[in-house]
A and B are shown apart, each in its own frame.
Chain A
């Protein structure tokens, strides 16, 4: 069986997968409301969306990278380093634009280096981005001397993270805008099509005259910038920056992408599914909290659900067909 037919089969699974993940989302909402009617309150919905925003924004970058058949493991310390840099620069009296601009430059730089390793040196992103993560962890330690940084949070960042606009929370609105752009780019732009094509068959795309290295650059830079944006929002939300603030944001967004039906080997899927995946992981965490299941039970349930979902809709064709 060739890769191409394998992937086209996966395409069918994926459309199916998006439907299944939205169905599961509805079931989870019903379960949550039955367990605790206050779950449907506007205050709680806002709180859940707030948490989902960080994961959802990181998952944008992760979706793009995974569509090309790669993965970005440099998110945690990219997020931490850029947030600390932003807060420290602002605290030292540099303006808002300089502080946020510097953070974004870090994200772009990390994305570029990730893309160079993957596209030029043809290294596996699993190890290359991991090395970047270690390097950024070290950079953070050197920059902060290992001390929790004194952070001053720009007012506008606070507003983006926890503010309200016409009764609606701002952070989920930011997420909604970014999500809409992502879905449009994936569905309608040349770059979007190239992302899928790179994941499906990069040599063929290269032979069609496409600069495939630039596609990798686009995906990884997007992921780097998304991690920085999530970090900025998280900083505003927590009103502080701290070492290790990104540690919870490595595997959960990747799980959200997988649950949303994107093929981990690239080439099939999309952000519509990832949105469902993001909401599912967030809801699951809070349902398990409502049911007063401890961390151990949470981990076990989380793992079982990933397996159950993937068994439902993301099985591969038999290699022996």
Chain B
């Protein structure tokens, strides 16, 4: 394993370490089992949504419907879950299937409809949020207590949410991204024409990437449901743009071909935790959005500061 692969994640990792260090200084209690659980739960939904976004971004697209799929999964889970373990398992599978189907529609329209991903997912954002509203016109619904505690609880210092995230990232997504399909996804994002010439089935690769994205977004929705224990058709809205921010902050390139999972996951925790850190630091809640926006902007500028030093403007334009 070459560590160089992970260099793009460096900014996010350093950012999160600095942030956690400061948080610990402000609020030493975060080093307790309770604090660990809180921290882990805060970032997991966005981390899963960021993984969904990353998979699509790697193909050179962008998925604006991530938030709508999160909402849709949340409404399905909180409305139909029931109390018996059998119905819980059934509804979890149904939710994952619905998310994958939403991704499948996105992928088919992008690959075979040959429509720009940003337009496809802008349109399906409306469609999926419409379905979420059909299922749950008013916020409400419930999930059994053991569903919530299984996902958001902790065993000593080990939060279950972290296990969920690691299982999804390492046992589900990583094998796929290391397989032929994963290589094809990177290749298509880097150069679709070249990928085609190398014998890769470009449309099928695109469809697979969007299905994986939909599945992961449904995972995010399921975890969010365990946190909120109720359904709301608009609950996922903020996850679309925050997942894009996490992916970019995490070192992936919008335009495709480059990016590893570590960066976006770490960046998702950074973005989710920063609000609590500002709160702990006694920053008025009105200033929190200012800080969030300012930090995103400064981080982005920092990441691209080389453009200021570049002698050759043409090289900058072509980057």
A interface residues (Cβ-Cβ under 8 A, vs B): 1, 73, 117, 120-124, 126-128, 130-139, 141-142, 145-146, 202-203, 206-207, 212, 251, 254-255, 258, 264-265, 294-304, 306-307, 310-311, 314-320
A10 to B288, CA, bound (A): 43
By beta carbon, the residue of chain B nearest A71 is B118
Q: A304-B127, A319-B193 are in contact. Are A117 and B301 (CB under 8 A)?
A: yes
By beta carbon, the residue of chain B nearest A307 is B123
Contacts of A264 in B (CB 8 A): 116, 118-119
Q: A134-B293, A138-B293, A207-B314 are in contact. Are A300 and B254 (CB under 8 A)?
A: no
Contacts of A117 in B (CB 8 A): 297, 300-301
Main secondary structure of the interface of B (DSSP, over half): helix
- A205 vs chain B, min Cβ distance (A): 9
- Of the candidates B133, B290, B307, the one whose C-beta lies within 8 Å of that of A122 is B307
Q: Are B115 and A311 in contact, CB atoms less than 8 angstroms apart?
A: yes
Q: A120-B308, A122-B307 are in contact. Are A298 and B114 (CB under 8 A)?
A: no
- B234 vs chain A, min Cβ distance (A): 10
A5 to B222, CA, bound (A): 45
Contacts of A132 in B (CB 8 A): 293, 297
Say which size band chain B's interface belongs to: 35 or more
- Of the candidates A126, A128, A310, the one whose C-beta lies within 8 Å of that of B115 is A310
A68 to B301, CA, bound (A): 21
By beta carbon, the residue of chain A nearest B117 is A264
Q: A296-B134, A318-B114 are in contact. Are A303 and B125 (CB under 8 A)?
A: yes
10 A–B contacts from the bound complex (CB under 8 Å)? A126-B244, A127-B296, A128-B297, A132-B297, A134-B289, A135-B297, A251-B125, A294-B137, A306-B122, A319-B202
Contacts of A139 in B (CB 8 A): 290
A318 to B116, CA, bound (A): 12
Q: Are B304 and A303 in contact, CB atoms less than 8 angstroms apart?
A: no
A315 to B114, CA, bound (A): 5
Contacts of B297 in A (CB 8 A): 117, 128, 131-132, 135
Contacts of B66 in A (CB 8 A): none
By beta carbon, the residue of chain A nearest B292 is A134
With A264-B118, A318-B114 given, can you name 19 additional A-B contacts, CB distance below 8 Å?
A117-B297, A120-B307, A121-B301, A122-B307, A126-B244, A130-B296, A134-B293, A134-B296, A135-B289, A141-B289, A141-B290, A212-B317, A265-B116, A296-B133, A296-B134, A300-B126, A307-B120, A319-B193, A320-B196
A126 to B242, CA, bound (A): 11
Per-residue interface assignment for chain B, residues 290 to 319, with 1 indicating a CB less than 8 Å from any chain A CB and 0 otherwise: 111110110011001101100001101111
Q: Are B118 and A303 in contact, CB atoms less than 8 angstroms apart?
A: no
CB under 8 Å from chain A, chain B span 102-144: 109, 113-116, 118-120, 122-127, 129-134, 137
Q: Are A137 and B300 in contact, CB atoms less than 8 angstroms apart?
A: no
B192 beta carbon closer than 8 Å to chain A: yes
Q: Are A131 and B286 in contact, CB atoms less than 8 angstroms apart?
A: no
Q: A121-B300, A133-B293, A320-B202 are in contact. Are A299 and B126 (CB under 8 A)?
A: yes
Contacts of B133 in A (CB 8 A): 294-296, 299
By beta carbon, the residue of chain B nearest A145 is B286
Q: Are A131 and B296 in contact, CB atoms less than 8 angstroms apart?
A: yes
By beta carbon, the residue of chain B nearest A298 is B130
B155 beta carbon closer than 8 Å to chain A: no
